[in-house]
Chains A and B, each alone.
Chain A
Amino acid sequence: MASTIHAQLSSTPMKFNLHHNSHSSLSWRRALAPDAVASTSSTFLTKGRGNSALITCNAQSAPSAVNLAPGTPVRPTSILVVGATGTLGRQIVRRALDEGYDVRCLVRPRPAPADFLRDWGAAVVNADLSKPETIPATLVGVHTVIDCATGRPEEPIKTVDWEGKVALIQCAKAMGVQKYIFFSIHNCEKHPEVPLMEIKYCTEKFLRSSGLNHVTIRLCGFMQGLIGQYAVPILEEKSVWGTDAPTRIAYMDTQDIARLTFIAIRNENINGKLLTFAGPRAWTTQEVITLCERLAGQDANVTTVPVSVLKFTRQLTRLFEWTSDVADRLAFSEVLSSDTVFSVPMGETYNILGVDAKDISSLEKYLQDYFANILKKLKDIKAQSKQSDIYF
């Protein structure tokens, strides 16, 4: 793992600074790994790590983790959601609250606080994965950590997605968190050239070697993402951007993902397993746009960008250091150009979880509901504005 990231990074000579950082984080991981493998119980692990003093939090929290017997037992209903403001995260939070969990959300300190989370009844704690010293306090009294965080597009991928996650997992281990749920990307092991997927894959491996009781869930694509990308521009008669890539993605409703996740969390047989959640059918970009057009009853103003242009831009942006993050983001174009299908047969997963396949919503149904709703709203508003004309 170390070598692959290393190789990948050294292919971009401009990012020397970043390279150095993540290299040190990898050696950090090496220092931990023997501990994790050698020790079978968490008691020994924390002792061993306390000496090495890799991060300050470990040394501090070691006594409480060692001393497992007395004290208040952690309630199984207390969970920490990392990345709670994201598309998936907020659905996870809603679901958890509805099922009676006490939800704590790890949110970055920011000028506009995530009020909607507190509004639903979750507790919000401020911490930043890129600052490891802020993490331990948030984990006190937490039974399960659900990690659905991904760095923002505009920031360097490594800080949050790799270093931050490593710190979080180590911290969770040290503080005796009893379960760790990690969301990854489908096929991430097949695309080491895409930094985000590479990092997700490495994190999966790191989690496995950490000895934490964990479940890894790989996802394909979110239906909610399509609304902003295609549905809204079509309704607003703006141009819709699509690629001509043949890639198919089995989009899934994040509400379904959240539901299945909690079934998986409560199923003790799934511990340590890798699950992949995919929607009922895989769609290409063109198919999605056609579907939206049909449902909206109007033609989209489609701008098709060939994958080759994306690829070219990526190469171009990689040349400069200040655009390297952009290059990382565009790295998915490598995946798009291949003929990959982001989908898996879900039959077995449904069986394990005891879920009925017909309860999983399809993209047609989802978009149909969306358009029906929004078109009705638009109609209501038009009717209202007509009424108000009378008074003037």
Chain B
Amino acid sequence: MSTATAAAALTSTIFGNQNPCNRRWMEISHSPAGNPGRRSLVTRAAASTDKEKKNQPKRKTKRPKEVLEEEKPPPAAAAAEDGEMQGVSTATSVSAIKSRLDEVNPVGLGRRSRQIFDEVWRKFSGLGTISRTARTDADEEALLLREGGPMCEFAVPGAQNTTVLVVGATSRVGRIVVRKLMLRGYTVKALVRNADKEVVDMLPTSVEIVTGDVGEPSTLQTAIEGCNKIIYCATARSTITGDLNRVDNLGVYNLIKSFQDYNNKLAQLRAGKSSKSKLLIQKFKSEDAMSGWKVREGTYFQDVIAAKYDGGMDAKFEWSTENEEAVFSGYVFNRGGYVELSKKLSLPLGSTLDRYEGLVFSVGGNGRAYVIILEAGPLADTSQSKMYFSRINTKVGFCRVRVPFSSFRAVNPEDPPLDPFLVHTLTIRFEPRRQKSVDRPIGAQDLRSFQLILEYIKALPTGQETDFILVSCTGSGIEPTRREQVLKAKKAGEDSLRRSGLGYTIIRPGPLVEEPGGQRALIFDQGNRISQGISCADVADICVKALHDSTARNKSFDVCYEYVAEPGKELYELVAHLPDKANNYLTPALSVLEKNT
């Protein structure tokens, strides 16, 4: 449109003249009525962003829809559209009359001209400003989406589909974790002990607050429902042993258990097709399953003379026809002797154990402890195989035992950590050493005899990401008299997480400082050497970054501010953590650290 007409139109609109020129201008500038489809498309785009961005509270997601409702074409136009679609000419003519009537309706005219005037005036006066845009409160929501939604610098791709349970959401680290998660579009659940007003006020409004106590397993089931990941930043409020045990040790343990129960439930619902489903390695349901399993005897001592006085040992693996079960049983009366049952694994085509997290044994028997030994190495040359072991405990009666690959240690300490991809042989070994004597309900049994009923062996599914992030501590900065107890409880919590088979990340920050994050370079290290503090905000940032970082899975690390190390202790990974826009400092920092620690 030419400048002259615009100016003329402008003046006429301002002074309310309804000349033809003005009418023409109306049609052009007020295109939403003429082109309702397109307009509502854009609005719907905004609305759908809103839905995906779940950090908007539920009550607000409705608002764009209302706007949409308002912006639907007027009834007359809608009728006209319907008429066209049906192809009935009479309907069209009726609606045409209607719309003509609508045009002369003085109220409608007045409202429309008012709208047009407002629109024109808004745009016109908008020209006078530099970059401030005139906006009404109704626009605010949509504008928020335009500005903060699609191009938000914090947005994380996986955030929309992830629900994170933050335990200890009111702690110094937890508070910032919750805010960061909200900014990134995660759905957040916060576990708090009591939902007082001051607690609720402290948390963002659309965080789902769940009341519960990590010390009470029964209260955790509702909290865990629907969660994909857990960030645990609760710590005991005092250093009383009972408190420490409740929060730092049992709390972690209880939460892991609830999480696993929930995951199992999900896997059952999806009938074995879910990513949470296990891989069957061996099921002992008929006698055929026994083939390939070999029983061996051996001894740790090569002392021939002592062996003369030993009572000998015996073991057999056989199919019990009356109970339909595979039983490995026997006795070892030799000192340093052992018996074992082993098999070369043959996995289904296309599956390799590196995609799995660990093994689960469903076994019964008289509750002895066993050692699981994995041999790993190239199949062609078994002489290069390396041995890895892990100890398991069973109960009297049937039970399931999880053994994560991360809990396996090399027999020869110089060997590298276990690579599940290379595992070719599985061995279950019984040895009379280190058997618990407490677990004896039926009379006095000889601890050197055993019976193990095997039901199945499966591999636990793995993931690329971490499931459980635990904020622990290095122990520096705690009052020296209680440091032992604090560390003991934290260690116990860490250990139960490592054994759980969940993907874990254990962060051990130095003493926490309350200051803004992203200012100073950080040191990531393993082995308890660090000496500096770190800001709570930086710890929170590491937690949030670790959620989707595959290098963070199954790692424990210490982190603190950069410092000049004392001589002899300077082995650490320094990573510059500058407040850059796309600063992914975590991946390079963690990729050099050892896994399964």
Contact = CB atoms under 8 A, between A and B. Distances in A.
The 4 closest A-B pairs by CB, nearest first: A100-B537, A121-B179, A225-B131, A221-B131
B32 A238 contact: yes
A94 B179 CA distance: 9
B199 interface: no
A2 interface: no
Contacts of B182: 119-121
Contacts of B131: 220-222, 225-226, 249, 251
A370 B150 contact: yes
Nearest to B578: A354
Given A120-B179, A251-B131, A330-B128, A115 B3 contact: no
B514 A77 contact: yes
A310 interface: yes
B540 A100 contact: yes
Interface in A348-392: 354, 356, 359, 366, 369-370, 373-374, 377-378, 380-382
Given A262-B516, A305-B6, A381 B124 contact: no
A49 interface: no
Contacts of A119: 55-57, 182, 204-206
B45 A377 contact: yes
B281 interface: no
Given A241-B123, A241-B124, A262-B516, A306 B3 contact: yes
Interface string A111-155: 010011011110100000000000000000000000000100110
Interface of B: 1, 3, 6-7, 10, 28-29, 31-32, 35, 38-39, 41-42, 44-45, 48-49, 55-57, 60, 123-135, 137, 139-140, 143-144, 146-148, 150-154, 175-176, 178-180, 182-183, 201, 203-206, 514-519, 535-538, 540-541, 578-581
Nearest to A334: B128
B127 A243 contact: yes
Interface string A230-249: 00100111110111000001
A255 B183 CA distance: 13
A277 interface: no
B579 A263 contact: yes
A229 B540 CA distance: 38
B245 to A, nearest CB: 30
Task: Give the most central of A112, A121, A242, A333: most B CB within 10 Å.
Answer: A121
Given A119-B56, A228-B133, A238-B29, A98 B125 contact: no
A116 B182 CA distance: 11
Contacts of A182: none
Contacts of A118: 204-205
Contacts of A154: 134
A87 interface: yes
B45 A326 contact: no
B58 to A, nearest CB: 11
Contacts of B56: 116, 119
Given A224-B147, A241-B124, A262-B579, 18 more contacts: A90-B148, A99-B579, A100-B516, A112-B140, A115-B60, A225-B132, A232-B146, A237-B31, A251-B131, A255-B153, A262-B516, A266-B519, A336-B127, A359-B580, A374-B42, A374-B150, A377-B45, A378-B45
Contact of B204 (A120, A226, A335): A120
16 contacts: A94-B152, A100-B176, A112-B137, A112-B140, A185-B130, A236-B35, A241-B123, A255-B153, A266-B519, A301-B1, A326-B125, A332-B128, A370-B146, A370-B150, A374-B150, A377-B49
A101 B10 CA distance: 48
A281 interface: no
A329 B125 contact: yes
A4 interface: no
B516 A266 contact: yes
Interface of A: 75-77, 85, 87, 90-91, 94, 97-101, 110, 112, 115-116, 118-121, 123, 150, 153-154, 185, 220-222, 224-229, 232, 235-239, 241-243, 249, 251, 254-255, 259, 262-263, 266, 301, 303-306, 309-310, 313-314, 326, 329-333, 335-336, 342, 354, 356, 359, 366, 369-370, 373-374, 377-378, 380-382
A98 B3 contact: no
Given A94-B148, A306-B3, A369-B151, A153 B519 contact: no
A94 B135 contact: no
Task: Give the most central of A331, A335, A373: most B CB within 10 Å.
Answer: A373
Contacts of A326: 125
A306 B7 contact: yes
Contacts of B124: 241, 305, 310, 313
Contact of B183 (A97, A150, A303): A97
B48 A153 contact: no
B45 A381 contact: yes
A89 B284 CA distance: 66
Contacts of A229: 126, 133
Contact of B127 (A112, A238, A241, A382): A241
A373 to B, nearest CB: 4
Given A263-B579, A326-B125, A236 B517 contact: no
Contacts of B183: 94, 97-98, 120-121
Contacts of A263: 579
Contacts of A314: 128
B137 to A, nearest CB: 5
B8 to A, nearest CB: 10
A77 B516 contact: yes
Contacts of A242: 127
Given A116-B144, A228-B135, A304-B6, A241 B581 contact: no
Contact of B154 (A98, A153, A336, A377): A98
Contacts of B133: 87, 225, 228-229
A120 to B, nearest CB: 6
A194 B299 CA distance: 95
Contact of B581 (A225, A354, A359, A381): A359
A305 B48 contact: no
A93 B581 CA distance: 16
Contacts of B127: 241-243, 305, 310, 333, 336
Contacts of B203: 121
Task: Give the most central of A239, A255, A303, A336: most B CB within 10 Å.
Answer: A303
Contact of B7 (A224, A239, A305): A305
Nearest to A223: B131
A329 B154 contact: no
A305 B3 contact: yes
Contacts of B48: 377, 380-381
Contacts of B540: 100
B537 A99 contact: yes
A227 B147 contact: yes
Contact of B130 (A116, A121, A254, A332): A332
Contacts of B60: 115
A374 B45 contact: yes
Given A77-B516, A101-B516, A120-B182, A304 B536 contact: no
B151 A373 contact: yes
Given A101-B516, A329-B125, A239 B28 contact: yes
A356 B580 contact: yes
A271 B56 CA distance: 37
Contacts of B132: 87, 150, 153, 225
Given A121-B178, A236-B31, A241-B123, A333 B128 contact: yes
Contact of B129 (A75, A97, A262, A329): A329
Nearest to B581: A359
Nearest to B45: A377
Contacts of B41: 378, 381-382
B57 A115 contact: yes
A76 B515 contact: yes
B201 A97 contact: no
Contacts of B7: 305-306, 309
